[in-house]
Each structure stands twice: as C-alpha cells, then as structure tokens.
Amino acid sequence: MMKAFSLEGHAALITGSSQGIGLALGQALHEAGAGVVCHGLSERPVEFPEWAGYVSCDLCDPSAPETLVNHAFKLKPGLDTLVCNAGSFFDVHPLDMTRERWDKTMQLNVASAFFTAQAFAKRLVAEKRGGSIVITSSTNGFQAEAESCAYDASKGALVMLTKSLAVSLADYGIRVNGIAPGLIKTPLTATWMESRDRSVLEHYEKKILLRRVGAPEDVAGAAVFLCSEAASYITGEIIVIDGGLTTGQIGRR
C-alpha cells in the first residue's frame, strides 16, 4: 500500500526552488523517487544538490514560463509533475502601493503560475499523457493581513486558479491541487521575523495550535502526497499547512 506514495518513475519541475519551501519540496520529491528539475532566479548555486537539474530564469519576463518548461523537458523528457511555487512579497502600505509593485506581484505570483501550467499541460496533452500540478498558495489566500493587499490578492487568485485549472484539465488526465502554507520560516520570512520584537513572534506562536512557526520541511509531505498515486482521486483541492493557525478564532493567552 505504501507504494502508492512513491514517485518512482515520475519527474517534476518545481518553480522557485533554489531555497526555502521550494527546495524542501524538491528534496522531498527526490526522496520519494522522482527525478527533479529545480528553478531559481539566479544561476545554479555552487553547493546546490547534485540530484537536481536546474534552470535559471526570471519569471517576471512574460516569455520565461514557456522557456522554462521547454528546458525542463529537455532535462527530463518524461516530466509529468509540476509544482508552481515561485512567488514573493512586494507590498507596502496600500496608500503607498505603486502600479509597478502591483504588476510585479501579479506577474510573478499569478501570471507565471498560469502560463507555466499552460505550457506544461500543452506538452502533456500533445503527448497524450496525464500528470499532476500543485500550486503553492498561502493562508493569505483565505485570510487577509495588514499591508499585504497585492500579496493577499495574488494568493487568493491562486486558490481559484487551482480550482479552475482542475475543472479545465480533468478530461486530459491532469490533476491540479494546491497547498496553502501558513507562517513558515524561510529566507524570505526570516528577515521579517527577526526584525520584529520577540513579542510579535510569541503572539503567533500562541495563535498556532501546534505552538511553533513552521519549517519548509513541514510543507513537503502534503506536496508529495498530492503528486503521488495515493492522491489519484483528488483534484481541485487545497491543503492548508499552518499548524492550526487559521483553525482557532482567538488563540491562547
């Protein structure tokens, strides 16, 4: 029965996987048996894991998603799994938000996810193969945060994009699901956490039912599950991975 959770014989492209959650996802898919192609904005880091293929490009470039997918298929012709994980945070106070920051958020967080998924799905459809797509959203896609209008909007869009793609691609044998991490300590969030007074972090730890901020590895298991045959009857779903952050209304004192 546990073989249902194996990814042996599969190959995956993970966007935004040079560090943080994306790298943890790559490690987990590799450990489950999948061939893995990682992606980052910069060239391959010197000490990047040897098990991974690597493609660098800026997904804010409208032509980048298709180019990335083409390169990934050259590295792994049997590619059948895609994890759209690339994204970042460019918000300021909404009264100070600029069109440039807003557009950059939507291009990287939403448009690149869609067009990467589109290019991937086109290839699978042409080859008459099924596959799996996992889109990384966030608990910000369900609950708002101060001074986070563009980011929250982008993550909410990814929640519905997951469901809409699931509807549109089901007849081609392509499943589409999502993961929604909560407060996870990554290179992106560490600066924010460490720059605040300790009481702020303590506040969140009291709100999180499991009493701790998550690590990238905490997110990986759900992604492996969704990519595996164990989830072969699941599509259009988003798994929230937040230690119970959004479950309790008030939290502990």
Catalytic residues: 151
Backbone φ, ψ for residue 239 (5° rounding): -95, 120
Find all residues with CB under 8 Å of 186, minimum gap 6, and list them.
19, 20, 21, 216
CB–CB of 31/248 below 8 Å?
no
Q: Which residue has the tokens 């499943």?
A: 175
CB–CB of 8/55 below 8 Å?
no
> Whose CA is closest to 154, among 66, 86, 56, 227?
86
Separation CA 74–CA 69 (nearest Å): 9
